[in-house]
Structure 1
Amino acid sequence: MAEDFAGIAVVQPSLMDKAEARREFPVRADAATFADRAESGIQFVSRWAGILAFVGAVAAIAWLIL
């Protein structure tokens, strides 16, 4: 019985064969839309707003203590 199965090799598919390669390209990579420009501006302002809020909170606590 073992001789019947000795010649059969089982090949397992590799992880690279199982993975799907998905690449999403923008329709027009050269043109920035109004939403893209607004988003970059909002990200810049919100980044500084967080820092200023932290500094303001620390200054308020220091003013209350001193």
Structure 2
Amino acid sequence: GARVVTPVAKEAISIRLDQDVIAFFRASGPRYQSRINAVLRSYVEQVAPTGRPARSQRAV
């Protein structure tokens, strides 16, 4: 019953964040940008209307 899920493509952007915020995430080790993305995704899921389409994932 395994299913291969390909990750949703990410877009490279430039964003200005407070130095202490960046330092906090960088101090937690590699992949700090992925953790920032996870925090932002969690926020979006909490404040988005309930009728919002689910995050798209393609099953192969």
Higher RCO (Cα < 8 Å, 6 or more apart): 2
User: Structures share a fold, TM > 0.5?
Assistant: no
> Structure 1 or 2: larger strand share?
2
TM-score by length of 1: 0.29
> Structure 1 or 2: larger helix share?
1
Larger radius of gyration: 1
